[in-house]
Every structure is written in structure tokens, then in C-alpha cells.
A = this chain, B = another copy of it.
Amino acid sequence: MDVLLTEEEMMVRTSARQFLERECPTTLVREMEEDSKGYPPALWQKAAELGWQGMSLPERYGGQELPLVFLGLVLQEAGRAVAPLPLHSTVTAALTIAQHAEEKLCEAILPGVAQGKTVLTYAVTELDGRTFADTVQTQAVAEGNQFVINGTKLFVDNFVAADHMLVACRTAPGSRGNSGLSLFLVDTKSPGISHTPLVTLARDKQSEVLFRNVRVAKGNLIGTLNEGAPIIESMLERGAVLLCAQMVGAARKDAEMAIEYAKYREAFGQPIGAFQSLQHMCADQIIWIDGGELLTFEALWLMDQGLPASVEVSQAKAFCNEKCEIAVRHSQSIHGGIGFMMEFDLHLWFRRVSAWSMKLGTTYEHRARIAHALIDLPGRVVLGRPVPVVAEA
């Protein structure tokens, strides 16, 4: 038990931070908000040279095979810099491929990811808007050596930049809930795919993606047919906790800016940071962000140990959704009018943290999962010992 960073972890964090401070000024962030792809390929390439995309991928595909906590540290820094990189969607998909896809697919995709040549994403959520796999309606029907996909996916991150995406489909006709689902690797350029960009709070690239008779080879199935739910769920859970790392990183930088502003900005003959009410706002910011960080990295650490972490992921996301949002809102309030102006940079963080709080599971969704584990499964609970794993529906 030592929840503090090791020297190695500290080094990874520091070098990521320094890299982004150097390479990713807010001018670039603003520029990429207007860019059609939303990211600068040169920076993506440099990130690959630092090993970010392959951080937790197997060495045989060019990865570094480091624990997820290291990847979490990098995403935390990406959040801190609000870096316009399709890193989160790429690693979320890539880790799923690495864990569940057949060797051939891994070989086809993962080296490109590690080299910074490939951008990935995933597509689960549909019109219903909820995060988890049981809401999937998109159909994939077997036809010869192929599956034919029809349906609509929403809120697909970085579709405009992605080469491939993992698409959750219903392969058993008439199935409901978590049964009859499968996950496919789909080339984003496949015939029959069209997309509409969405205008989002984060000014990031999300799309509505329409699948009309999109054909995908049977070999692109990830895992076992009709038994994709656990794979999809674990992808979403990993995605959620890695997003928490980004949120925590962004919220902390954002809070630090407010705290610095409070030391310098004067009112009523004092730095505003000398007023107790404002000090308490700042203290709360840090307490909440620390809490979110601890929850996030505990979940990542459990995953690294191969231990169940569903409950811990939900803890982190439900907490970060609410607390990181209040923390960045506090920063805005501390800045008063200036923070409300587009020309001031603070909103770059505020908008992203707010948007991320609405993705990959709302507070209510995650809390319902936790309550299920706590209350519906047998056995007494003891804080600090594992809660029963969420049973498959």
C-alpha cells in the first residue's frame, strides 16, 4: 500500500508534462477546434515517438507493455494540456483489440497504432444516448464470409480522423439486453458508411455515423459471436476510467489557474484569494480533484492486477462527473467576468471537462451499477475489500 507515485511514474508524468508544455500551446488547441480532423498529425507522430499510443500495448506490436496506470498518467497530462490528440479513443479501442482480437487482426492494426500511423475509435452508443451495451440496436447479419451492418451510432469520437473503429452490433436477431451482441473492427472508409459531424461543447470531433449495408469480413469479429457484451463492457469501462484520468488532469490544471489568479487579482484591498470563502472554494477544488484521482488510479491499478474493477470504474466516473465539473465551475466563478470571455483561455478546460462529464456513463448510470453490486449481490460489504462483481445481466 503506497498510493503515491513511484520514481518511474513520476518520471513518465514529468516528461509528458514537459513535452506538452513545449509542443501544445493553447493556440494549437484553439486551432484544432477549427480543424476538420481536429488533431495535428505532427504532434500525433511525436507522441508515438514517446511511446504514448503503444504505452500499454504488447511489445510484440511495438508497444511498451507498461501497466495502465502509466497510460493513465499520460492521459492525465493530455487532459492537463487539453491536447487535441485522438489518444483516448485510439487506446481505448487498441487495448480491446490487443486483449480480445485474433493475432491476425492485432498484427494488422496495432503496430500502426504504436507507430502513430493509425487512429482508432469505437462506436457503441446509439439514439438512446445511454452508454452501456444493452442499448445497442445496430444489426449485423451474417452473409457468406461477411457481416452486413445496418444502424446508426452517435457520439463517435474522432470518426473524422479514425482509420478503423470498433462497432458494437446485435448479431442475434431479437436478442435483448446484454445477450446477442458482437464487436467488429470496421474500416471507417467502408462503402455504406456516412457521417454527420456534431457540434459539441468541447468543440471536439464527434459524429453521427450511419451504417447502410456496410460489409465487414467475418475475420473482423472481435471475440466470440453473440458473446461480445463482456468485451464491449470492458472496453467501455477502460474508456471511462481513462477518460477520468483526462478529466482529473484537466480539472487540476484548471483549478491551479484559478488559484494563481486568486493570488494576483485584488478586490476590496486584498488579493481575492485572501477571502476565506474563496480559500474554501479552492480547498474544495483540490480535495475533489484529489479524490477523483485516487479513485481513478485505484481502478486502473486493479485492472493492472487483473482484478475486478467494474465497481471502481463506476466510482471514479460518477465522482469525477460531478466533482470535476464543480471544480472547473469554481474556477470560472473565481475568474469572474474574464473567464466568461472567449478570448481568455480558461474555457478551453471548462468546456472539455464539462463535456467529458457527460460521456461514457452519467453519474446516475454508474451509481446504479454500484448500487447493484452493493445491494443485490450476496455477502456483507466491508469498505476496502472487494465488492461483489456486477453480475452479467
State the A residues within 8 Å of B (CB).
Answer: 275-277, 280
Q: Bound complex: CA of A277 vs CA of B281, how far in Å?
A: 11
Q: Bound complex: CA of A276 vs CA of B278, how far in Å?
A: 10
Chain B residue contacts of A276, Cβ below 8 A: 275-277
Q: Bound complex: CA of A276 vs CA of B275, how far in Å?
A: 8
Chain B residue contacts of A275, Cβ below 8 A: 276
Q: Bound complex: CA of A277 vs CA of B275, how far in Å?
A: 9
Contact residues of A: prevailing secondary structure: helix
Q: Bound complex: CA of A219 vs CA of B317, how far in Å?
A: 61
Q: State the Cβ distance, A296 to closest chain B Cβ, in Å.
A: 30
Q: Bound complex: CA of A275 vs CA of B279, how far in Å?
A: 12
Counting chain B CB atoms within 10 Å of each CB, the highest count among A275, A276, A280 belongs to A276
**Residue on B with the closest CB to A275?**
B276
**Residue on B with the closest CB to A280?**
B277
Chain B residue contacts of A277, Cβ below 8 A: 276-277, 280
**Residue on B with the closest CB to A277?**
B276
Q: State the Cβ distance, A284 to closest chain B Cβ, in Å.
A: 12
5 A-B pairs, CB-CB below 8 angstroms?
A: A275-B276, A276-B276, A276-B277, A277-B277, A277-B280
Q: State the Cβ distance, A133 to closest chain B Cβ, in Å.
A: 27
**Residue on B with the closest CB to A276?**
B276
Q: Bound complex: CA of A171 vs CA of B277, how far in Å?
A: 59
Q: State the Cβ distance, A125 to closest chain B Cβ, in Å.
A: 24
Chain B residue contacts of A280, Cβ below 8 A: 277
Q: Bound complex: CA of A280 vs CA of B277, how far in Å?
A: 8
**Residue on B with the closest CB to A278?**
B276
Q: Bound complex: CA of A277 vs CA of B277, how far in Å?
A: 6
Q: Bound complex: CA of A275 vs CA of B275, how far in Å?
A: 10
Q: Bound complex: CA of A58 vs CA of B277, how far in Å?
A: 53
Q: Bound complex: CA of A280 vs CA of B280, how far in Å?
A: 11
Q: State the Cβ distance, A368 to closest chain B Cβ, in Å.
A: 16
Q: State the Cβ distance, A283 to closest chain B Cβ, in Å.
A: 10
